[in-house]
Amino acid sequence: MANGLYPCEGSIDKGYCGVHAKLMKPGWQLEVAHRYDFPYSLHVGYSYRETIVIEREVTIMNWKLIVCSAAIIAGLVLPASCGTAGNLPAPADSGPSYASLKNAVVSEYTGKKPVEWGETVAGVKTSLATKERVIALTLDACGSPTGKGIDAKLINFLVREGIPATLFINARWIDANPELFLELARNPLFTIANHGLLHKPASVNGRSAYGIRGTKDLGELVDEIELNAEKIHRLTGKRPAYYRSGTAYYDEIAVQVAEKLGHTVIGYSVLGDAGATFTREQVTAALLKSVPGSIVIAHMNHPESGTGKGIMAAVPLLKKKGFRFVRLSDYPLQ
Q: Are residues 81 and 174 in the same domain?
A: no
Q: Is residue 111 part of a domain?
A: no
Range of the domain at 175: 118-330
- Identify the CA nearest to 300 among candidates 101, 152, 107: 152
CATH at 124: 3.20.20.370
CA distance 29 to 71: 12
Question: Three-state SS for 298?
Answer: strand
Q: Are residues 124 and 80 in the same domain?
A: no
- Total domains in the fold of the chain: 2
CA distance 203 to 217: 7
Q: Is residue 112 part of a domain?
A: no
Q: Are residues 39 and 177 in the same domain?
A: no
Q: For residue 273, what is the enclosing H or E element?
A: none
Q: Is residue 109 part of a domain?
A: no
Q: Which of 88, 110, 130 is the last residue of a domain?
A: 88
Q: What is the pLDDT of residues 180-189, one digit of tens each?
A: 999 999 999 9
Q: What is the pLDDT of residues 222-260, one digit of tens each?
A: 999 999 999 999 999 999 999 999 999 999 999 999 999
Q: Is 295 left (phi over 0), alpha (psi -120 to 50) or beta?
A: beta
Q: Is the peptide bond before 26 cis (omega within 30 degrees of 0)?
A: yes
CA distance 204 to 153: 38
Q: Are residues 160 and 59 in the same domain?
A: no
Question: Three-state SS for 194?
Answer: strand
CA distance 105 to 7: 22
- Identify the CA nearest to 144 among candidates 121, 114, 115, 173: 173
How would residue 96 be classed by pLDDT, with cut points 50, 70 and 90?
A: low
Q: Is residue 243 part of a domain?
A: yes
Q: Is residue 19 part of a domain?
A: yes
CA distance 242 to 126: 12
Question: Three-state SS for 55?
Answer: coil
Cross-strand pairs, 11: 66
- Identify the CA nearest to 118 among candidates 109, 128, 126, 110: 126
Whole-number pLDDT of residue 136? 98
Q: Are residues 297 and 212 in the same domain?
A: yes
Q: Are residues 130 and 278 in the same domain?
A: yes
Is residue 25 scored above 70 in pLDDT?
no
Positive or negative, the CA dihedral 23, 181, 273, 194 is positive
Q: Which of 40, 70, 88 is the last residue of a domain?
A: 88
Distances (CA, A) of 209 to 131, 199, 200, 251: 33, 11, 9, 11
Cross-strand pairs, 149: none
Which one is predicted more confidently, 206 or 49?
A: 206
Q: Is residue 94 part of a domain?
A: no
Q: Is residue 95 part of a domain?
A: no
Question: Three-state SS for 100?
Answer: helix
- Identify the CA nearest to 187 among candidates 162, 152, 154: 162
Q: For residue 150, what is the enclosing H or E element?
A: none
Whole-number pLDDT of residue 114? 98
Which one is predicted more confidently, 330 or 4?
A: 330
Q: Are residues 19 and 122 in the same domain?
A: no
CB 3 within 8 A of CB 97: yes
Is residue 158 scored above 70 in pLDDT?
yes
